[in-house]
Amino acid sequence: MTPRKFDISVLGEEGAAYVDEDFIDLDATTDGQWAVGTNGVKRIVMPADRRAELVCLENQTLTIVRSSLMGAAVYPMPTATFEPPAEAVLMDLDGTSVHSEAFWMWVIERSIARLMNHDSFTLAPEDEPHVSGHSVSEHLQYCINRYCPGASIEQARANYYDITEHEMAEIAEGRGKEDAFTPAPGLKPFLLALKERGIKIGLVTSGLHNKAWPEILSAFRQLDLGDPLEFYDCIITAGHRLTKGQCGTLGELAPKPHPWLYAESAYIGLNISPDRRHKVIGLEDSGAGVMSIRLAGFAALGLTGGNITKGGARPLLHRYCESLDECLGVILGQ
């Protein structure tokens, strides 16, 4: 299909260079409710991971976030600007602060292998954008849909939690999978530079608390940074594992790419006023995370090493950086 040249005004600062390369043009949304050329629709595009559809109208862009667990949610996509130096930085955990994505994808893989009773099962390379950056349930449901349609999501979750608890106990005892959690290169000087300048730091993850907290602790112990609760200005996770008789949070139903984790971090955790959001920037390595930051109203910094390119999220970035040190330069306006 010949790319339509209608300008998407919500693109990130560097986004225009990638829109026709990374976004897929559609004649209509998946559900057929919006179509190009009707009701003021100028263009409809979706990133390569197909997790969202952007409906471009004359004066605004609507983003439809689809879920394999529930219906779609529709959010306006605000234009996000950033004026350095930052007053607050919102940071992803997996892949951005701690290198652990390979471990958690391995747990997903083992959970599905157990569900299928197929020990040699392995995920395919093209599965990566769908088994990282979202919620556990979203990852598992994707795998079920692709590899074992009709299998029980409840049993898949039970497998996941059982494997996770075993591996966490093994890691705590000095056994388990080697190099499961490794601080990102340059994390310590990056965090200390932000603290020295009085820039607020929020840590945000779609991971459940009982899997995220050991990662954070492990990284801070390796870096000798003390208590994470004292260091970060806020830490937002997707909530706790659900067990019978307990209530959960929206984390499993509205994780990244929904905006709520980043919105909660900034507006509640860090007490940022909406009229100061141009002084806030989010840092992510996943396409789902980039979309989450943008829907929450903030500019997004992309960090290489994740699935931003595979997921087709580059058009929404303010900058795409090779390292945390390069990110720091953007944050400080240097």
Q: What is the model's pLDDT at position 284?
A: 97
Q: What is the model's pLDDT at position 1?
A: 40
Pick from 216, 115, 102: nearest CA to 162: 115
Q: What is the model's pLDDT at position 174?
A: 67
**Distance between CA atoms of residues 199 and 11, nearest Å:** 26
Q: What is the model's pLDDT at position 2?
A: 43
Task: Give the predicted TM-score (pTM) of the model.
Answer: 0.84
Determine phi and psi for 59, rounding to 5 degrees.
Answer: -120, 5
Q: What is the model's pLDDT at position 318?
A: 96
What are the tokens at 214? 């050991």
Sheet holding 299-303, edge to edge: 234-236, 200-204, 88-92, 280-284, 299-303, 319-321
26 and 66 Cβ atoms separated by less than 8 Å = no
Q: What is the model's pLDDT at position 71?
A: 77
**Beta-bridge mates of residue 283:** 91, 301
Q: What is the model's pLDDT at position 249?
A: 62
Residue-wise pLDDT tens for the chain (334 aa)? Answer: 444 555 577 888 888 788 888 999 999 999 999 999 999 999 999 998 888 999 999 889 999 998 766 778 999 999 999 999 999 999 999 999 999 888 889 999 999 999 999 999 999 999 988 888 677 888 999 999 999 999 999 999 999 989 988 988 887 676 777 678 899 999 999 999 999 999 999 999 988 787 788 889 888 988 999 999 999 999 998 876 656 555 556 666 778 899 999 999 999 999 999 999 999 999 999 999 999 999 999 999 999 999 899 889 999 999 999 999 999 999 999 9
pLDDT tens figures, 304-314: 999 899 889 99
C-beta neighbour count of 177 within 10 angstroms: 13
Pick from 238, 240, 261, 220: nearest CA to 98: 220
